[in-house]
Amino acid sequence: EDKFPRELSGGEQQRVAVARAIAPGTPLVIADEPTANLDSVTGKELMELLYELREREGRTFIFSSHDPMVIERAERVVTLHDGAITKDITQ
């Protein structure tokens, strides 16, 4: 079904943005709250895909997120509070 961008739900818009971001030849992806508008199942599937791309193709992902599912598999977690780094953990 064809739709104009304004007719897409938040989750649909999120998926389109992700598809553009992970297009072949994109070595670095910066994503702000990548799972925010997704249900938990779709969010998990998205993160599995992104982590697979990291492992298979060596892509670099920088996420800003409050979602534990995103944070738990990160290689490095930097915590900010009031604009200052309060933790910097390499896992």
**What pLDDT does residue 25 have?**
79
Query: Whole-angstrom Cα distance, residue 54 to residue 60?
Result: 6
Q: Would you give the distance in Å from CA 90 to the centre of its chain?
A: 18
| Number of helical H runs and strand E runs in the chain | 3, 4
Specify the pTM: 0.74
Output the CA torsion sign for 1, 50, 22, 24.
negative
pLDDT tens across 1-56, in order? 788 878 888 878 877 888 888 888 788 989 899 888 788 998 899 899 899 989 99
pLDDT tens across 62-85, in order? 999 999 999 988 999 999 999 999
Architecture of the domain delimited by 5-90: 3-Layer(aba) Sandwich (3.40)
Query: Whole-angstrom Cα distance, residue 17 to residue 11?
Result: 10
